[in-house]
């Protein structure tokens, strides 16, 4: 999707992921971020009464994470740490450690040393955050097993979901009851909405709502941590999906935000589509910042194509077709055509050559087999966002204001070919 503002991305040596210049502005933000991580660890440890043992967090990790290249004695600390890692260090770092052992002056190598340490520290801090987040999820799953509600501070930021046999799941609104499904719980999180089940719900429904809410929140938090890690360690620009709702509201009159809002609306729309139609075996995910920046796709769509092998003549019609999962990267744009669209298509052609590179294995989970450029210039995304905000940010998100024809267009363009949908199929799937 279209980027906002200038990139200012620092190029790094791809063969040495921790080599490269450490951005000073990013470094200031990183120091502040780590203080939040430490506070989070302290709070979580106190809560579980297992201080120092959160999700296998070791004292060594905490020491390493707290020794960035601005602390007094950082070179001496890391020299001792790195001597024991000589077999696994990058060649340039081995040379630096050996210079230190010999008592030689580092000169310009000090910068490489400083950059390596700061990037390594950033990676350690991100891993600590992931462990804390997984620890929180484990704690919440334990609460679910015991049928315990959120604490008061969390309850205040959540809407309550009710249930009755006639209407199913619903939210209480001024206009009465508004239906809500599990897909809405997941998609609404993109718009900052959180939920909790009413305590009087049947136990199996109560548990499913809690698990749906807690797992999607943990997953999205971990995705954000990973994108931060890619930003600090690999100098990859953050995707526009990381922008807060408050930030989008602040810039709503900026025409450049049409694409930002479009990407989020389309993703949330297809999350609801996925949950509404489980029989289609359709799944949508957002791309991480590396995929967005380097591989040029915003969404990852997975489909299980049962007819694919049959169409290739590999089995007979009498046999049961195998389940073949296809994963496609989708580059979304609100650009209607012309030179700008051609330039995007050219960038995607270059990116296609990168999608199966083994060097991306640690960054890209479930690589795609192709990238599609999808142009959807509806020109109503910002207006729909305004309507949603003006209505009090209800469940359903800005995509609730898409017209029937716009919804049909989204399904047709994004999912039609992948799911081999006929026109009458698409009509029946509009919601």
SS3 for 31-60 is HHHHHHHHHHHHHHHHHHCCCCCHHHCCHH
Flag whether pLDDT at 55 surpasses 80.
Answer: no
Classify burial at 353, counting beta carbons within 10 Å of its beta carbon; exposed 0-12, middle 13-18, buried 19 or more. Answer: exposed
Tokens, residue 47: 């809560």
pLDDT, position 38? 60
All residues at 6 or more sequence positions from 278 whose CB lies less than 8 Å from its CB, including other chains? none
- Name the least confident of 15-24, 120-129, 311-320, 398-407: 311-320
pLDDT, position 167? 87
Tokens, residue 49: 């009464």
pLDDT, position 316? 43
**Residue 258: band (very low, low, confident or very high) from pLDDT cuts 50, 70, 90:** very high
| Residue 289 CB neighbours (<10 A) | 25
What does the pLDDT look like over 96-135, one tens digit per residue?
A: 999 999 999 999 999 999 999 999 998 998 998 898 899 8
Burial track 175-194 (b if 16+ CB lie within 10 A, e otherwise):
eeeeebbbbbbbbbbbbebb
Strands (DSSP E) found in 207-366: 282-286, 299-305, 324-333
* Nearest residue to 1 (alpha-carbon basis) of 330, 398, 354: 330
What does the pLDDT look like over 397-416, one tens digit per residue?
A: 999 999 999 999 999 999 99
Tokens, residue 429: 């799937």
**Residue 34: band (very low, low, confident or very high) from pLDDT cuts 50, 70, 90:** low
Flag whether pLDDT at 358 surpasses 60.
Answer: yes
Tokens, residue 389: 């905000």
**Residue 215: band (very low, low, confident or very high) from pLDDT cuts 50, 70, 90:** very high
Are β-strands 195-197 and 159-164 bridged in parallel, bridged antiparallel, or unpaired? parallel
- Name the least confident of 45-54, 159-168, 405-414: 45-54
DSSP state of 6: -
pLDDT, position 7? 36
Q: Three-state SS for 370? A: strand
DSSP state of 304: E
pLDDT, position 36? 64
All residues at 6 or more sequence positions from 110 whose CB lies less than 8 Å from its CB, including other chains? none
Work out the angle at residue 257's Cα, subtended by the Cα atoms of residues 256 and 261, and round it to the nearest 5 degrees. 145
Which residues make beta-bridge pairs with 330? 299, 372
The mean pLDDT value for 301-314 works out to 59
pLDDT, position 59? 83
- Contact 401/391 with Cβ under 8 angstroms? no
Please give the mean pLDDT across all residues of the chain. 87
Q: Terminal CA-to-CA distance of the chain, rounded, Å? A: 25
pLDDT, position 44? 55
Q: Alpha-carbon distance 85 to 90, whole Å?
A: 10
Query: Percent of the chain, pLDDT > 90?
Result: 70
**Residue 238: band (very low, low, confident or very high) from pLDDT cuts 50, 70, 90:** confident
């Amino acid at each position: 999707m279209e980027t906002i503002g200038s990139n200012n991305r620092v190029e790094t040596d791809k063969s040495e992921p921790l080599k490269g210049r450490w951005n000073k502005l990013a470094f200031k933000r990183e120091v502040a971020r780590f203080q939040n991580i430490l506070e989070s660890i302290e709070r979580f440890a106190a809560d579980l009464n297992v201080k120092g043992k959160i999700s296998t967090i070791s004292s060594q990790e905490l020491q390493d994470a707290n020794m960035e290249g601005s602390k007094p004695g950082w070179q001496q600390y890391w020299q001792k740490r790195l001597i024991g890692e000589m077999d696994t260090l990058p060649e340039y770092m081995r040379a630096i450690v050996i210079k230190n052992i010999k008592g030689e002056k580092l000169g310009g190598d000090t910068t490489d040393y400083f950059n390596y340490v700061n990037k390594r520290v950033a990676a350690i801090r991100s891993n600590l955050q992931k462990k804390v987040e997984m620890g929180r999820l484990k704690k919440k799953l334990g609460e679910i097993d015991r049928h315990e509600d959120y604490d008061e501070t969390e309850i205040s930021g959540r809407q309550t979901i009710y249930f009755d046999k006639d209407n199913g799941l619903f939210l209480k609104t001024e206009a009465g009851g508004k239906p809500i499904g599990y897909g809405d719980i997941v998609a609404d999180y993109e718009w900052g909405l959180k939920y909790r089940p009413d305590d009087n719900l049947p136990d199996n429904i109560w548990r499913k709502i809690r698990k749906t809410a807690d797992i999607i929140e943990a997953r999205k938090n971990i995705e954000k941590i990973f994108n931060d890690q890619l930003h600090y360690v690999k100098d990859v620009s953050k995707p526009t999906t990381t922008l807060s709702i408050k930030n989008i509201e602040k810039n709503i009159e900026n025409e450049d935000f049409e694409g930002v809002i479009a990407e989020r609306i389309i993703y949330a729309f297809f999350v609801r589509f996925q949950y509404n139609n489980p029989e289609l075996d359709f799944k949508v995910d957002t791309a991480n910042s590396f995929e967005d920046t380097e591989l040029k796709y915003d969404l990852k769509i997975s489909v299980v194509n049962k007819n694919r092998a049959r169409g290739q003549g590999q089995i007979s019609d009498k046999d049961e077709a195998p389940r073949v999962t296809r994963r496609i990267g989708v580059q979304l744009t609100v650009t209607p055509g012309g030179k700008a669209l051609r330039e995007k298509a050219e960038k995607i052609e270059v990116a296609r050559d990168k999608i199966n590179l083994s060097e991306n294995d640690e960054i890209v989970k479930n690589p795609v087999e192709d990238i599609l450029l999808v142009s959807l210039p509806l020109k109503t995304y910002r207006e729909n966002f305004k309507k949603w905000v003006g209505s009090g940010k209800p469940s359903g998100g800005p995509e609730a204001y898409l017209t029937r024809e716009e919804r049909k267009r989204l399904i047709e363009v994004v999912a039609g070919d992948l799911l081999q949908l006929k026109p009458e199929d698409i009509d029946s799937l509009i919601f």
